Structure 1
Amino acid sequence: MNREEIQLCYQTALGFIKDAGKILLTAKDIVLEEKAPGDIVSEYDVKVENVLIRRLKMNFPTHKFIGEEESHRKKRISELSNDPTWIIDPIDGTSNFVRGFPTTCISVGLVVNKEQIMGIIYNPFSMELYTAIKGSGAYLNGERIYSKETENIGRASFIYELSLAKTASLRKMYLTRLKYLINEVEGIRSFGCAAMSICYIARGYFESYQCDGLFPWDYAAAALILREAGGYVCDPTGVEFDLLKGDILACCTKKLAEQFVEVVNKADEEWKILP
């Protein structure tokens, strides 16, 4: 896919995403469904995803799609091929959205040859539009943004999604890592919205974010935006970031990420031998 084709994809998707934001701004009498314990979906998740996929398919009929609600219905995540693939989270932070808490967003990423090439994240409530095309920098409402240059974990404000500790298979890992990390970082926050949390690092609000047990749509756009802002993304154990694995460590600098990995690996040695 050449630059002109990528730019066409970007401009086309941008208009659709802004239109989808209007759907969220007019939401009322929200009906909820529980997909799994602690994992809720609203009819607006479904509405926004259907609108985005339908309109993108009309413009790019040969492209593929991985959407959160579509994957839930199929009970599986489609394999990632080399074809242009849109990865869509219609509402990241649904729990925040239904409570009227404005840390929520629409997230759309485009992957070609299994490589992230474009990301758009739009929070219509705060009017924050984060965008990136690979190799062209990251932007907030059209203004270039950069992550911080912090390299000391003791000066890092750390975003940690502790709500995922509700999942029995992840609980020991999360709580053991928390025990180790809380002694190392400057402070801990939790916003319940992966895409916005990573964008907060890209714009320089915070220094680090870590989460296991996510899905590709949670960070398909945000990881690229952070990288284009100068940040660093890897697996929490230090290996190369895998878009489909669901585990991510996002930091403002590589050196800071290396310090987090060291602490995480020590914590993992403990929880893996716990009864």
Structure 2
Amino acid sequence: MARSALLNVMVQAAIKAGKSLTKDFGEVESLQVSRKGPADFVSKADLRAEQIVFDELRKARPTYAFLMEEGGEVTGTDGAHRWIVDPLDGTTNFLHSIPLFAVAIALERNDEIVASVIYNPVMDELYTAEKGNGVWLNDRKRLRVGGRRHLADSVLVTGIKTQGTPNDALGLRQVTHLNPAVAGIRRTGSISVDMAWLASGRFDALWEAGLSPWDVAPGALMVKEAGGFVSDYSGKPGYVWNGEVVAGNETLQLLLLKQLQAVK
């Protein structure tokens, strides 16, 4: 796969940030035994990774705006482009020495997501996508969503914090409703990894709510470029900004959407 210049910039930023996180991940494992714990350390690791991404992208495209999980919004001057950045998606996993997290970057052009990168540094899996050019794993394998057509044969993935918010309570009701109808339900703790794995066919369908744009934008493009379909809970395309995602191949996405709409 030949990358565009823009995608090269994004990949370089993600890999550099991923190397920083991998180094910090080795440190956080040893901090698990300390009384203070690794929470402050992980916060600094998150900020370091975001600063690396910001510096790399700003150096390459100084006129582009930013929307970042930690740093918020940074205005640009060209009026058309914005980077959407999650420097550490899967912070709780990182905090607990669970090696499943990612650096996620999307590029928005004139209100449309046109390119994205998700890099899982521990597994060294680099997912890249550009509008119209498909989604690729490590530049070698072009990905497609799975072809299953029945929920009973499918493994779904979702994310529930179980902290008492309305979204979490609804999510638990949805799991209870769906569990007898599917082959399995997983919860990895990283929505970016979930969506990349959906694009690769490892998961068959996905749903989650209470998300932010940096959670959704990178992976949603990958799912679509892999032949999948994405909507919010109402079936409309507002998922990046309202934080509700239902995704899968054309058949499963519709079947899952119907099941979710039956849960109140």
* Corresponding residue for residue 199 of structure 2: 202
Equivalent runs, 1:196-235 vs 2, <5 Å: 196-235=193-232
How far apart, in 1, do the equivalents of 2:99 and 2:247 lie? 22
Identify which range, 21-30 or 115-124, moves more after superposition.
21-30
How far apart, in 2, do the equivalents of 1:237 and 1:54 lie? 38
**What is the CA-CA distance between 1:242 and the residue it aligns to?**
3.0
**Contact 2:160/2:168 (<8 A) preserved:** no
**Residue 243 of structure 1, aligned match among 240, 244, 256:** 240
* Corresponding residue for residue 32 of structure 1: 39
* Corresponding residue for residue 47 of structure 1: 48
**Contact 2:131/2:225 (<8 A) preserved:** yes
**Residue 152 of structure 1, aligned match among 147, 150, 153:** 150
Structure 1 position 22 matched with structure 2 position 19? yes
**Contact 1:233/1:241 (<8 A) preserved:** no
Structure 2: give runs of 5+ residues left out of the alignment: 32-37
**Contact 2:93/2:189 (<8 A) preserved:** yes
How far apart, in 2, do the equivalents of 1:42 and 1:246 lie? 23
How far apart, in 2, do the equivalents of 1:225 and 1:82 lie? 25
Provide TM-score, normalisation by structure 1: 0.85
* Corresponding residue for residue 259 of structure 2: 263
How far apart, in 2, do the equivalents of 1:168 and 1:205 lie? 29
- Aligned partner of residue 86 in structure 1, secondary structure: strand
**Residue 109 of structure 1, aligned match among 99, 103, 106:** 106
How far apart, in 2, do the equivalents of 1:14 and 1:172 lie? 37
**What is the CA-CA distance between 1:160 and the residue it aligns to?**
1.8
Identify which range, 203-212 or 169-178, moves more after superposition.
169-178
**Residue 161 of structure 1, aligned match among 145, 159, 162:** 159
Provide TM-score, normalisation by structure 2: 0.88
Quote the RMSD (CA, aligned, Å): 2.1
- Aligned partner of residue 158 in structure 1, secondary structure: strand
- Write the deviation string for residues 39-89 of structure 1: whole angstroms up to 9, x where unpaired: x96211101111211221122121110000013xx8xx99xx962110000
Number of corresponding residues: 249
User: Aligned pair in 2 of structure 1 residues 246, 84: CA closer, same or farther (>3 Å)?
Assistant: same
